Structure 1
Amino acid sequence: MRRRSKGRAGSADGLARLVAHTDPVALVGIALSVFLSVTLDLTNAATGVESLLAGLMGITISLVLDSLARAERRFHLRTLLDGPPWLVRTTPQVAGAVREAAERHAGTRVAAEAQRRYEEFRLEAEQLAAGRIVRRGDDEEDLVGATRDCKREMVGLTNVMPRFSGELSWWRGDVGRRYWEANLAALARGISITRIFLYATLSDELAELVETQRRAGVRVGLLPHGAVGTHLHVNLAVWDGSSCWEARMTAHGEISENQFSVNRSDVERLTRIFRHCADAATFHG
C-alpha cells in the first residue's frame, strides 16, 4: 500500500512538474487538439481513426512549438551567461540554491526569505546595470574611495543644517575624518577641490572648518540658506565629471542612503545643481 501510494504521489508530482514547465500556448494547443478529436468522433464528422490522427497532429504541432519556445529560452540564457568567468561559474549555483530553498522548504519561512532576498538581489542588480551603487547611510565606502581615485578635479556641496545634536557632527565623526584625510591626500596629488557649504547659521565652528579647508588648499564657497531653492539642497560630490555621489537625507538631516553613480544623467544632474549653487555662493581666497 505504501509503495502504491508513493507511486501515485510520484506520478502526480511528475504531472504537476510537466504542466508547470510546459509553455501555456502548448497546453492550450494540446487541450484544443483533444477537444477537436473527441468532437469529430462524437459527431461522426470523421471516422475514429481520422479523429485520432487529427488530435495527434494537433498535439504534435503544439509540442513542436513548445520545443521551439524552450530552445529560444535556453539560447537566451546562454547569451546572458556569455560574460565574465565569475558570472558563468556562479550563476547556476545561485539559481540552483534559490530554487532548492523554494521547493524543498515550500510553505516555510525559509522559502519566503529566499524569495525576499532574491527580489532584493534583483533590484540591486538593476541599479548596478544603470551604473549606480546604493549603500546604507553609514557606509561611505564609495565617497572615500572615489576621492582617492580622483585624477583631476573634485567638486562638492555640503549642507550644514541645524540638528538636535548640533551642526557639523558628520565632519567630526569617523567617516568625516576619513573623508577629509582622502581630501588631503588628493590635494597633495595636485587635485583641484571646490566645496560649497550651504548653511543656516555661520557659527564659529563652521567658520573654523571653512578656514581649515581653505588653508589646506580647498576652494571654499559659502551659500546662505534661502539663497537658492530647496530642491538644490543636496549633499553631493562629483569627480572628474565622470562619477558622482549623492546622500539621501532623513527629516533630521541624517544620511539614510548613499548613492554612487557613473550614470551620465546622474552626473549631469548633480553637476547642474553644483553650478547653480556656485553661481550664488561667495568664494573667498
Structure 2
Amino acid sequence: MARDDVPRRLRGRGSTAEGFARLVAHTDPVALIGITLSVTLSVMLDLSNAASGVESLLAGLMGITISLLVDSLARAERRFHLRTLLDGPPWLVRTTTELAGAMREAAEQHEGTRVAAEAQRRYEQFRLEAEQLAEGRIIRRGDEDEDLVGATRSCVRRLDALTNVMPRVSGELSWWRSDIGRRYWEANEAALDRGVRITRVFVYATLTDELSTLVEKQRTAGVRVGLLLFGVVSPHLHVNLAVWDGSSCWEARMTAHGEIGENQFSVNRTDVGRLTRVFDLCANAATFQD
C-alpha cells in the first residue's frame, strides 16, 4: 500500500464523519427523535420475537419514512416562511441575503476573535432596532434632531408640545439657544406660516426674565403658550414631548443632568395616545393668555 493512500483513506473517513455530522445538524429534531425511536422499535420487535425479521425491518423503515416526511414538511414550511418574509420592498429582498451572508462569514471565518464577537453584538443591536421600527418607533441619540425638526416641517394642522424648563447645570433655557433649538424654532415659524396651530405649555419652577422673553417671543409669532407651575401636576407628567396632527409624537428621554439623552419618534397609536393624554392634562392645568 502506498504511503499516500493512508492519509487519503483517513481523509475519506473524516469527510464521511463530517458529512454525517452536518446531516444531523441540519435535520429537524423531531425527525431525529422519530428515526431513533423507529430503529429502537425495529430492534426490540426482532429481539423479542414479537415480529419476524422482515416485519421488524418493515416497521422500522415505515417509522423512518414518516420521520423523514415530517422533516421534509418542516423544511418546506421554513422555506415558505422565509419566502413570505422576503416578499417585500425590493431593497429588503436585495440586501437580506447579503446581510445574512456577511454576518455568517464574520462569525465562521473569524470564530473566537473580537471580530466575531462584534458581529454578534452589532447583529443583536440591529435586531433590537428593527423590533422598535416594527412597533412604529425611531430611537436616536439626544443630539440627533432630524425627527423632531422633520415632523414639524411636515405638520399640516396641529402641533401640541410640552416643554419642561427646570434649573439645570447648563442653564434652564440652553436647549432653545442650541443649534437644535434654533432649527426647531425655525421649523415652528414655517409651520405657523402654513397655518398650523401650535400650542406649547412651559412647565417652570421660576418665571425668570429669560423665560418671560421666550414666552413673549413665541406668543408674538403666533404660538398659543401656556404656563404651568412646577408641582401643580404629578411629576410623572413632566415630559418633554410633541404631538403632530394627532398621528405621530416625539418624546425626550432625559439624563440625570437634565440633558436629552435619547430621542424617540413614534407613530405607534399607544405612544401617541399616551403623550396626547399627558399634554391634555398639563394643558388643562396651565394658564393661557388667550
Q: TM-score band (shorter)?
A: over 0.9
RMSD between aligned residues: 1.5
Does 2:106 match 1:101? yes
- Residues 154-211 of structure 1, C-alpha deviations (whole Å, 9 max, x = no match): 0100011111122111111111111111111111111111111101111111111111
Q: Which structure 2 residue ranges, 5 or more long, are not aligned?
A: 1-5
Does 2:147 match 1:138? no
| SS at structure 2 position matched to 1:245 | strand
- Please give the alpha-carbon distance, in whole angstroms, between the structure 2 residues aligned to 1:21 and 1:111: 22
| SS at structure 1 position matched to 2:264 | strand
How far is 1:5 from its partner? Answer: 4.4
Structure 1 match to 2:119: 114
Structure 2 match to 1:50: 55
One-letter amino acid matched to 1:146 = A
Structure 2 match to 1:249: 254
- Please give the alpha-carbon distance, in whole angstroms, between the structure 2 residues aligned to 1:6 and 1:199: 78
TM-score by length of 2: 0.94
Once the two structures are aligned, what percentage of the paired residues are identical?
78
| SS at structure 2 position matched to 1:198 | strand
One-letter amino acid matched to 1:121 = F
Q: Which structure 1 residue ranges, 5 or more long, are not aligned?
A: none
Does 2:193 match 1:188? yes
- Please give the alpha-carbon distance, in whole angstroms, between the structure 1 residues aligned to 2:190 and 2:11: 70
The count of corresponding residues between Structure 1 and Structure 2 is 285
TM-score by length of 1: 0.95
How far is 1:50 from its partner? Answer: 2.6
Task: After superposing the two structures, state which structure 1 stretch, 266-275 or 109-118, moved more.
Answer: 109-118
| SS at structure 2 position matched to 1:138 | coil
One-letter amino acid matched to 2:18 = D
- Residues 228-259 of structure 1, C-alpha deviations (whole Å, 9 max, x = no match): 10010000000011110001111221111111
Structure 2 match to 1:150: 155
- Please give the alpha-carbon distance, in whole angstroms, between the structure 2 residues aligned to 1:182 and 1:271: 21
Does 2:222 match 1:214? no
Task: After superposing the two structures, state which structure 1 stretch, 203-212 or 63-72, moved more.
Answer: 203-212
Structure 2 match to 1:29: 34
Q: 1:148 to 1:5 in 2, by over 3 A?
A: farther
One-letter amino acid matched to 2:231 = G
How far is 1:41 from its partner? Answer: 2.4
